[in-house]
Amino acid sequence: MTGEKRASLTDDLVAALTDAGADPPILRSAPGLGPLLAARVLAEIGDDAERFTSPSGLRAFAGTAPITRTSGRSHYVKARKVRNKRLGDACHWWVFSMLTKSAGARAHYDKRRAAGDHHNAALRNLANKLLRRLWWCLQHNERWDDSVAWASQPTVTSTPE
């Protein structure tokens, strides 16, 4: 079997697997999630929308949520060691592809880098934002909307009393 036929067969198999579930249209609507990454994310998080009651649970499961340790004057943030490595890897590839597929994702990454985050910390922060939005889309059974995902938060102004 030639490489081209094998790749076509793999693509067809992945497309059939992702189309069998309830969430693939939502997953595939997210920029950067092609058939292979969407299948991998679906396989790792499952098709039960109630499995994660909050986006923080999904982020902790993927290992993108940091752990903060503080004691006295010391304060440091480190990556999680107990996590689903396959989902974390899929999120890493998703984030990396989002940098070229979405102007909002690129702007968020650049903003984090300008704030002093290292490359990996900025990618983790972006992955947290993507997982939070994906969780919302799965809970509300709505497709990804890039304009809503990157809409800036309104500034809260306090009124003097």
Separation of alpha carbons 123 and 159, rounded Å: 36
Within a domain: 119: yes
Residue 161 scores a pLDDT above 90: no
Separation of alpha carbons 3 and 101, rounded Å: 27
Within a domain: 158: no
Within a domain: 159: no
66-87 pLDDT per residue, tens: 788 888 888 887 777 788 899 9
Q: What is the pTM of this model?
A: 0.78
Within a domain: 43: yes
Three-class SS of residue 80? coil
The total of structural domains in the chain comes to 1
How far is residue 105 from each of residues 7, 21, 75, measured CA to CA in Å?
Answer: 29, 27, 28
Range of the domain at 67: 3-147
Within a domain: 38: yes
Separation of alpha carbons 107 and 58, rounded Å: 24
Within a domain: 160: no
Within a domain: 108: yes
